[in-house]
Amino acid sequence: MKLMVVGGGGREHAIIKKLKENPSVSEIFALPGNGGMADDCTPVPIGALEIEKIVAFAVENKIDYAVVAPDDPLVLGCVDALEEKGIPCFGPHANAAIIEGSKVFSKNLMKKYGIPTAKYEVFTEMNAALAYLDSAPIPTVIKADGLALGKGVIIAQTREQARDAVISMMRDKKFGKSGEQIVIEEFLEGPEVSVLSFTDGKTVVPMISSMDHKRAIDGDQGLNTGGMGTIAPNPYYTAEVAERCRKEIFLPTIAAMNAEGRTFKGCLYFGLMITKDGPKVIEYNCRFGDPETQVVLPLLESDLLTIMQAVTNETLAETEVKFSNQSACCVIMASDGYPLSYQKGFEITMSARAKAKTYVAGAVRKDGKLLSNGGRVLGVTEIAATLPEAIEKAYDLVNEIHFENAFYRRDIGKRALLALEE
């Protein structure tokens, strides 16, 4: 089978490595992929947003199955466009990807169907939002409605910060059209859990839980990033919490999307906060998380392609989805300065052992060398029987990888270890 994966980061590399385990896979193209994954697939210089070119490539190359991984092509209808040409795909249609594409949509969905989430108000007009802030409880959370490269959420610790956030989104159009509508919501507290799930619109199968580390610096300090590391499973996601999530969040969300005529098929990501009043939804993503995928898929024991095809064919209920009972830790090696400005183009060297366990997020191949080419450069994943061992092994591997301005957090998994001791 010839496969195609749309996207080009560490998440896509993890998906590709897992898909390759199926013996019927003869070739995998990554659009655009990156030079660091060229041993596992064929990178093709077509961007993830170039939908017409993606479809033309798939038709010309007789692609048997496509996986669309990033949020923006999903929201733009990449799956719809590929299916129109008869290419079977993994990923939601645009009318379901809106669950991530519009926060106003997802908040209203949760309110309508009684799915637990932070209390909120929607504003389309700046003065109304500013007037509301005069008496809103502080801290408060301001969210741009649309996609904003993960930067559209501002936790305001003061009324002034909240006002600045509203003005930057609604008057200064910091996120363009994405900020035309905003959500102002209640600040929630508690540990966060990411649960990715497979769903074919009838059945929902949660994957092993994970924990992201979004801030740039140790101790959860510094700016928000795309994610500096992950561990799985997440110790805050106990069997009891999992059961509540299934009943109060996962099944109601699938049913709600069906009731709205927006059946979701693909990977639905639940960003949860375990508050003292129980689990609540912080966000939905219409795709695999990055870098959650880099710890979740290495623990998947069943065949990924078989599961994905079962989602497409709506036979997930009859398909085995089994996870290992081991633990995983992924440490992201970034370029110093990320998420702001950083230098790139430094040669990356690593041991063969490290290479086998590294997912490449941002690198190019030039004259036989691998050069850093992004903010997040590598994701280094190790698996072990216990979480402390997985963390130790992952950091051992990091020591076998070098590039000049490498930067990484030293405390990935620390909060999870504290939870295990509680």
* Among the listed residues 145, 185, 200, 292, the single contact to ligand GLY using CB under 6 A: 292
CA nearest to 401, candidates 333, 330, 345: 333
Cα separation, 132 vs 222, in Å, equals: 29
Q: Residue 142 forms beta bridges with which residues?
A: 154, 184
Per CB under 6 A, the list member of 106, 178, 203, 285 interacting with ligand GLY is 285
Instruction: State both tokens at 142.
Output: 């301001």
Q: Which of 290, 294, 328, 401 binds ligand GLY (CB under 6 A)?
A: 290
Q: Where are the beta strands (DSSP E) in 8-80?
A: 27-32, 42-43, 65-68
**Gap between the Cα atoms of 396 and 384, Å rounded:** 13
Q: Interface with ligand GLY by CB under 6 A: which range of 216-224, 251-259, 286-294, 379-387?
A: 286-294
Residue nearest to ligand AMP (CB): 283
- 196-235 positions binding ligand GLY, by CB under 6 A: 212, 227
The CA distance from 167 to 179, in Å, is 10
Q: Which does 220 bind (CB under 5 to 8 A by kind): ligand AMP, ligand GLY, none?
A: none
Where do the H-state alpha helices sit in 287-342?
A: 293-296, 304-313
Decide whether 290 or 382 has the Cβ nearer to ligand GLY.
290
Q: Under rule CB under 6 A, which residues in 132-161 are in contact with ligand GLY? A: 150
Residue 244 CB, shortest distance to ligand GLY, in Å, is 22
Q: Looking at 76-84, 164-172, 283-291, 298-306, which segment touches ligand GLY (CB under 6 A)?
A: 283-291
Q: First-to-last CA distance in the chain? A: 48
Residue 346 DSSP symbol: P
| Residue 227 site contact among ligand AMP, ligand GLY, none (CB < 5 to 8 Å, cut-off depends on kind) | ligand GLY
Give contact residues for ligand AMP (rule: CB under 6 A): 118, 141, 150, 153, 155, 185-188, 192, 214, 271, 282-283
What minimum distance in Å lies between the beta carbon of 145 and ligand AMP? 12
Find the binding residues for ligand GLY in span 83-112 (CB under 6 A).
Answer: none
**Which is nearer to ligand GLY, 3 or 361 (by Cβ)?**
361
* Nearest distance in Å: CB 300, ligand GLY: 17
Q: Does the protein bind ligand GLY through residue 12 (CB under 6 A)?
A: no
**Gap between the Cα atoms of 368 and 372, Å rounded:** 13
Q: Which of 150, 191 has the CB closer to ligand GLY?
A: 150
Strands (DSSP E) found in 39-139:
42-43, 65-68, 89-90, 120-123
What is d(CA 322, CA 320) in angstroms, rounded to the nearest whole number? 6
CB of 272 to ligand AMP, least distance (A): 10
Which is closer to ligand GLY, CB of 185 or CB of 212? 212
Burial of 191 (0-12, 13-18, 19+ CB in 10 A): middle
- Token readout for 334 is 């970034």
What is the residue whose two structure tokens read 């290495």? 298
Measured from the CB of residue 135, what is the shortest distance to ligand AMP in angstroms?
Answer: 18
Question: How crowded is residue 112: how many other Cβ atoms within 10 Å of its Cβ?
Answer: 11
Q: How many CA atoms lie within 13 A of 296 on its CB side?
A: 28
Residue with smaller CB distance to ligand GLY, 290 or 303: 290
The partner in contact with residue 188, picked from ligand AMP, ligand GLY, none with C-beta cut-offs of 5 to 8 angstroms by kind, is ligand AMP
Residues of this chain that interact with ligand GLY (CB under 6 A) are 150, 212, 227, 285, 289-290, 292
